[in-house]
């Protein structure tokens, strides 16, 4: 990998992230003229007469929550009465009216519970003359935690934070997709799966949603706080069986799921529920928007650019094989486009934990890419690759992802580092740390899944190596 390739990959990622900056997006998509607010969503416009409401409040959750709240403060001004958003530590903004509560991610903590309580209190206080803006973004499932209270066989059962933490840990380690994880989370929450919309009703709800899930399924983003739920307790029970999780889940969690299947605990509300009569869920930002920005930068740099997909899923180490295969075809046949070529994909992969290492899905994908290069010979002299998250933190690390190239593989060999062994331990962070190939950009304040950027060939004669 040349220095120029590394710089180009970094610039493409930076431009992608800038395009989905939450503050910028809301300022572009919300336009106030007098009392009329136009909300421009991906699927159409919503026009609201603000004078029709006595109170306007903000309540929401997600890594982008503070930036979205600041945009709403600046747009609405004195019309905004109050608000609460749950955010990840390090994602705070200077807010005047909305209270931002630090909460745990990916594991919920006491801050998550405090945020859940504050949001539900504000929701319960809303009436027919209240307009609620609900900024929702990735991470909301952990950041906003409201343990379900239920009555089972005549006795009250309240899930605890520790119950939810143990359940979250089991789910994250299972290899389940985010859709599957959130299906179970919804059925253990007093807010998720559309239950927040129940609490807000009969007020009007306008949710402003930044998608961090593949396919932009609104009922999965932050576990669908204000969206009709298409899943059921039966679905949650089936997933527990599929991933053999029953013995790993706390007894109260199993009891709630079983009672829900039996019909003694009410299921999450579906589209027929009257709570959704005054709810509008507006998609304002997606992974596709980030990919498009990265592609624009690649074209300006002189690359023949291909947008592969915004819906890449599956095991990170398996997706890496696909990108190596694409690189091989580009090198040999120029199959997708003439060289120099840039191929950009996005989505969200999963990692099944096999070892006790440190890393994240993007670092594991990059490590698997290098491992496949190790098995594929020297076809890849001018191949450079970056896999990175858009929120700045890949897994429980301070890196957003990692670079991969044949040059980095050769450096690893010189240092006696075996990609296969580090991959076995899920220890990508420590592998790339020794090669100075981790990509660290700090907290971005946004979250629209991940990007993978592959360069084959260079648009330059600069051959300095990295």
Residue 462 buriedness (CB in 10 A; 0-12 / 13-18 / 19+): exposed
Q: What's the confidence (pLDDT) of residue 458?
A: 77
Strands (E), 64-106: 82-87, 98-102
Contact 424, 354 (CB under 8 A): yes
Query: How many residues make up the chain in this entry?
Result: 466
Nearest to 222 by CA among 88, 126, 21, 99: 88
Q: What's the confidence (pLDDT) of residue 172?
A: 86
Q: What's the confidence (pLDDT) of residue 464?
A: 37
Q: What's the confidence (pLDDT) of residue 466?
A: 44
Contact 400, 17 (CB under 8 A): no
Could you tell me if residue 160 is inside a domain?
Answer: no
Phi, psi of 19 (to 5 degrees): -65, -30
Nearest to 404 by CA among 374, 424, 427, 377: 374
Write the Ramachandran bin of 294: left for phi over 0, alpha for psi from -120 to 50, otherwise beta: alpha
Same domain, 7 and 53: no
Of 242, 259, 285, the one marking the end of a domain is 285
Same domain, 347 and 198: no
Same domain, 277 and 317: no
Q: How many domains does the chain have?
A: 2
Q: What's the confidence (pLDDT) of residue 43?
A: 81
Same domain, 274 and 307: no
Same domain, 103 and 129: yes
Which domain does 209 fall in, by range?
Answer: 22-146+189-231+268-285
Q: What's the confidence (pLDDT) of residue 375?
A: 84
Contact 365, 452 (CB under 8 A): yes
Contact 84, 122 (CB under 8 A): yes
Distance of alpha carbon 29 from alpha carbon 56, whole angstroms: 18
Strand partners, 102: 87
Same domain, 315 and 442: yes
Could you tell me if residue 331 is inside a domain?
Answer: yes
Q: Residue 50 is encoded by which pair of tokens? A: 């603000």
Give start and end residues of each alpha helix (H) in 21-160: 22-29, 65-76, 110-124, 140-143
Contact 401, 361 (CB under 8 A): no
Same domain, 435 and 330: yes
Q: What is the pLDDT of residues 126-146, one digit of tens each?
A: 999 999 999 999 899 999 999
Q: What 3-state DSSP class applies to 385? A: strand
Strand partners, 206: 133, 280
Same domain, 214 and 294: no
Give start and end residues of each alpha helix (H) in 1-96: 3-19, 22-29, 65-76
Could you tell me if residue 177 is inside a domain?
Answer: no
Of 250, 285, 320, the one marking the end of a domain is 285
Nearest to 181 by CA among 221, 145, 209: 221
Could you tell me if residue 55 is inside a domain?
Answer: yes
Contact 119, 86 (CB under 8 A): yes
Residue 320 sits in a domain of what CATH number? Answer: 3.40.1480.10
Phi, psi of 249 (to 5 degrees): -95, 145
pTM of the entire predicted model: 0.88
**One pLDDT digit (tens) per residue for the chain, 466 residues:** 899 999 999 999 999 999 999 999 999 999 999 999 999 988 889 999 999 999 999 999 999 999 999 999 999 999 999 999 999 998 999 999 999 999 999 899 999 999 999 999 999 999 999 999 999 998 999 999 999 999 998 899 899 999 999 999 999 888 888 889 999 999 999 999 999 999 999 999 999 999 998 889 999 999 999 999 999 999 999 999 999 999 999 999 999 999 999 999 999 999 999 999 999 999 999 999 999 999 999 999 999 999 999 999 999 999 999 999 999 999 889 999 999 999 999 999 989 888 999 999 999 999 999 999 988 766 778 899 999 999 999 999 999 999 999 999 999 999 999 999 999 999 999 999 999 999 999 999 899 999 999 999 976 544 333 4
The angle, 0 to 180 degrees and rounded to 10, between the axes of the packed helices 406-414 and 361-374 is: 80
Could you tell me if residue 244 is inside a domain?
Answer: no
Q: What's the confidence (pLDDT) of residue 377?
A: 62
Could you tell me if residue 315 is inside a domain?
Answer: yes
Contact 361, 349 (CB under 8 A): yes
Same domain, 436 and 307: yes
Same domain, 297 and 275: no
Same domain, 332 and 273: no
Could you tell me if residue 238 is inside a domain?
Answer: no
Nearest to 117 by CA among 160, 147, 75: 147
Could you tell me if residue 157 is inside a domain?
Answer: no
Distance of alpha carbon 326 from alpha carbon 332, whole angstroms: 10
Same domain, 225 and 331: no
Residue 322: which residues within 8 A CB-CB, separation 6 or more?
none
Residue 134 sits in a domain of what CATH number? Answer: 3.40.50.10180
């Amino acid at each position: 990998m040349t220095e120029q390739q590394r710089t180009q990959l970094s610039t493409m990622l930076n431009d992608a992230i800038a395009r989905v900056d939450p503050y910028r997006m809301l300022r572009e998509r919300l336009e106030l003229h007098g009392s009329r607010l136009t909300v421009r969503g991906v699927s159409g416009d919503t026009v609201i007469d603000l004078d029709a409401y006595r109170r306007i409040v903000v309540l929401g959750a997600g890594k982008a929550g503070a930036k979205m709240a600041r945009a709403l403060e600046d747009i609405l001004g004195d019309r905004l009465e109050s608000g609460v958003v749950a955010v990840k530590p390090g994602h705070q903004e200077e807010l005047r009216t909305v209270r931002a509560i630090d909460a745990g991610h990916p594991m919920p903590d006491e801050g998550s519970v405090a945020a859940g309580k504050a949001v539900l209190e504000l929701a319960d206080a809303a009436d027919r003359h209240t307009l609620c803006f609900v900024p929702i973004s990735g991470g909301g499932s952990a950041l906003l935690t409201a343990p379900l209270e239920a009555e089972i066989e005549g006795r009250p059962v309240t899930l605890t934070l520790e119950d939810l933490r143990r359940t979250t840990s089991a789910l994250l380690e299972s290899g389940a997709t985010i859709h599957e994880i959130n299906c179970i989370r919804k059925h253990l929450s007093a807010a998720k799966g559309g239950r927040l919309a129940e609490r807000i009703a009969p007020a009007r709800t306008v949710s402003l949603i930044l998608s961090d899930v593949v396919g932009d399924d609104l009922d999965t983003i932050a576990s669908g706080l204000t969206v009709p739920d298409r899943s059921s307790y039966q679905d949650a029970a089936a997933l527990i069986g599929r991933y053999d999780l029953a013995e790993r889940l706390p007894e109260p969690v199993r009891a709630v799921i079983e009672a829900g299947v039996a019909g003694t605990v009410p299921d999450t509300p579906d589209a027929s529920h009257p709570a959704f009569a005054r709810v509008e869920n507006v998609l304002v930002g997606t992974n596709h928007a980030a990919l498009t920005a990265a592609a624009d930068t690649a074209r300006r740099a002189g690359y023949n650019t291909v947008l592969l997909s915004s819906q890449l899923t599956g095991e990170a180490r398996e997706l890496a094989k696909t990108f190596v295969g694409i690189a091989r075809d580009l090198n040999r046949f120029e199959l997708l486009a003439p060289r120099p070529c840039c191929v950009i994909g996005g989505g969200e992969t999963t990692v099944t934990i096999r070892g006790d290492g440190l890393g994240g899905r993007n670092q594991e994908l990059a490590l698997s890419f290098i491992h496949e290069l190790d098995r594929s010979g020297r076809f890849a002299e001018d191949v450079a690759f970056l896999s990175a998250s858009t929120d700045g933190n890949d897994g429980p690390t301070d890196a957003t992802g990692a670079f991969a190239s044949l040059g980095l593989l050769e450096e690893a060999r010189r240092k006696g580092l075996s990609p296969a062994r580090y991959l076995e331990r899920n220890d990508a962070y420590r592998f790339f740390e020794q090669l100075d190939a981790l990509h660290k950009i700090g907290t971005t304040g946004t979250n629209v899944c991940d990007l993978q950027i592959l360069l084959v060939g260079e648009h330059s004669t600069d051959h300095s190596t990295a």
